[in-house]
């Protein structure tokens, strides 16, 4: 009996984003955990300058980071979606490019044009999930609970300060509208701190979100599936700093992750149902992490945001929540790949000609 051929999985990582380093760490965990008896990994890296690398060059960047980018990118540029010719095509792609130019529908659009299966949300779900302004407006239209927020453009910061700085319900959180991993987020406690916060956010995005601060517990859930998604048990984040910023997420070891979150059975069911509704309202598929606030005064949940390509590092909440729900890291990867193949198979049946 002939041995079944391994699936060739193209893991795409890096990218032109403020979350580049987080992507490298996520890819490292995924590549290390994909079952070698089932999969052959094809590493595909995107440098901070946007150059695509594959195979040995990609692995070299994964281990050494951007310090060797200049060495790796000399000579002929790599093709988009590079593949080792002698080994045949990639069967399914696993894009783990967090943030802009990766999580925002751009890579998803490329993979759609190429007609290949890939893990995660499609173009629409990825794009609206990344844009926190559009995301919150769609959720509000769907009748889901969203906190108060304001939006401005980088070029209109001075006007926004003149019109709103005295009226905002401080403290407020100021963040780039299209970024994740808490990059560029600051807390403005009063009107005098607002200009600096807006300027920091404007370094990362043209559109800036200002959110009303809430005295709340931070509850997160992992969602998995396509048309019939399921939510994990909830987890709770108790940050080591004033709020769960980039430092608290990826550098400091002092933040506490409570899995499961200390919630009542009714609160668990409510959080899970809300996470699934968010996932479906934004046309997501494959995976997402939904972040909620549990208001300490009202006891009500608010939707903070969704992450359609959440962190996959060894300490990331998405895989840890599924592990606590009974699904191991390697089994989770199997399921995500199966969901990608399933969705692609269904789309191939659709007519493209009249």
* CA dihedral of residues 148, 154, 158, 162 (deg, nearest 10): -10
Distances (CA, A) of 353 to 66, 116, 186, 325: 45, 19, 50, 44
Residue 66 is predicted with a pLDDT of 53
Q: Which of 180, 291, 316, 318 is flagged as catalytic?
A: 291
- pLDDT digit string, tens, across residues 150-163: 999 999 999 999 99
Q: Which of 305, 325, 329, 343 is flagged as catalytic?
A: 305
Q: What ranges make up the beta strands (E) of the chain? A: 7-14, 39-46, 52-54, 92-95, 149-153, 172-176, 186-188, 207-212, 216-225, 230-231, 235-238, 256-258, 286-295, 301-307
Q: What is the mean pLDDT of residues 161-189?
A: 90
Residue 69 is predicted with a pLDDT of 52
Q: Which of 10, 217, 311, 318 is flagged as catalytic?
A: 311
Q: Is 295 considered catalytic here?
A: no
* pLDDT over 60 (residue 70): no
The whole-chain average pLDDT of the chain stands at 89
Q: Which of 307, 316, 325, 329 is flagged as catalytic?
A: 307
* pLDDT over 50 (residue 331): yes
DSSP structure string for 283-308 = T--EEEEEEEEEETTT--EEEEEEES
Q: What is the mean pLDDT of residues 77-87?
A: 47
Q: Which of 250, 255, 325, 343 is flagged as catalytic?
A: 250
Q: Is 305 considered catalytic here?
A: yes
Q: Is 307 considered catalytic here?
A: yes
Nearest to 312 by CA among 47, 92, 25: 25
Residue 150 is predicted with a pLDDT of 98
Q: Is 19 considered catalytic here?
A: yes
* pLDDT over 60 (residue 129): yes
In CATH, the number for domain 7-118 is: 3.40.50.20
Contact indicator for 129, 106 with CB cutoff of 8 Å:
no
Q: Is 28 considered catalytic here?
A: no
* pLDDT over 50 (residue 261): yes
Residue 13 is predicted with a pLDDT of 95
Architecture of domain 129-145+215-342: 2-Layer Sandwich (3.30)
pTM: 0.89
* pLDDT over 70 (residue 180): no
CATH superfamily assigned to domain 149-212: ATP-grasp fold, A domain (3.30.1490.20)
Q: Which of 217, 277, 289, 343 is flagged as catalytic?
A: 289
- pLDDT digit string, tens, across residues 90-118: 999 999 999 889 999 999 999 999 999 99
Q: Which of 29, 181, 182, 316 is flagged as catalytic?
A: 181
pLDDT band of residue 85 (cuts 50, 70, 90) is very low
Q: Which of 10, 15, 17, 19 is flagged as catalytic?
A: 19
- pLDDT digit string, tens, across residues 54-66: 778 888 888 765 5
The domain segmentation of the chain, as residue ranges, is 7-118, 129-145+215-342, 149-212
pLDDT band of residue 254 (cuts 50, 70, 90) is low
Would you give the DSSP letter of residue 78?
P
Task: State the Cα–Cα distance between residues 273 and 165, nearest whole angstrom.
Answer: 36
Contact indicator for 275, 231 with CB cutoff of 8 Å:
yes
Nearest to 289 by CA among 119, 101, 129, 102: 129
pLDDT band of residue 87 (cuts 50, 70, 90) is low
| Helix spans in 243-296 (H) | 246, 265-281
Q: What is the mean pLDDT of residues 295-313?
A: 95
Q: Is 311 considered catalytic here?
A: yes
* pLDDT over 90 (residue 68): no
Q: Pairing state of beta strands 92-95 and 186-188? A: unpaired
Radius of gyration of the chain (CA): 21
């Amino acid at each position: 009996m002939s041995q079944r051929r391994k699936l060739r999985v193209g893991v795409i990582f890096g990218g032109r984003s403020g979350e580049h380093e987080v992507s490298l760490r996520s890819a490292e965990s995924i590549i290390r955990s994909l079952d070698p008896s089932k999969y052959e990994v094809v590493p595909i890296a995107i440098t901070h300058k946007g150059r695509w690398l594959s195979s040995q060059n990609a692995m070299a960047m994964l281990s050494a980071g951007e310090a060797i980018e200049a060495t790796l990118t000399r000579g002929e540029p790599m093709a988009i979606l590079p593949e080792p010719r002698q080994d045949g095509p990639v069967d399914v792609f696993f894009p783990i490019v967090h943030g802009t130019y990766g999580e925002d529908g751009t890579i998803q659009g490329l993979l759609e044009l190429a007609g290949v299966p890939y893990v995660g949300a499609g173009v629409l779900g990825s794009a609206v999930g990344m844009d926190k302004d559009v995301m919150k407006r769609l959720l509000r239209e769907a009748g889901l609970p969203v906190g108060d927020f304001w939006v401005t453009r980088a070029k209109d910061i001075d006007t926004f300060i003149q019109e709103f700085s005295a009226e905002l319900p401080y403290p407020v959180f100021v963040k780039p509208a299209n970024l994740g991993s808490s990059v560029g987020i600051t807390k403005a406690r009063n009107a005098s701190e607002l200009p600096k916060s807006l300027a920091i956010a404007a370094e990362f995005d043209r559109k800036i979100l200002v959110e009303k601060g809430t005295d709340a517990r931070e509850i997160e859930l992992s969602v998995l599936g396509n048309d019939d998604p399921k939510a994990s048990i909830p987890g709770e984040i108790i940050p080591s700093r004033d709020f769960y910023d980039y430092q608290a997420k990826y550098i400091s070891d002092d933040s506490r992750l409570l899995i499961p979150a200390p919630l009542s059975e009714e609160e668990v069911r409510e959080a899970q149902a809300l996470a699934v509704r968010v996932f479906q309202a934004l046309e997501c598929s494959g995976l997402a992490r939904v972040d909620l606030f549990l208001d300490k005064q009202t006891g009500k949940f608010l939707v903070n945001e969704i992450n359609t390509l959440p962190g996959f590092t060894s300490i990331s909440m998405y895989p840890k929540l599924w592990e606590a729900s009974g699904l191991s890291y390697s089994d989770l990867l199997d399921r995500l790949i199966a969901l990608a193949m399933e969705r692609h198979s269904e789309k191939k049946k659709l007519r493209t000609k009249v």
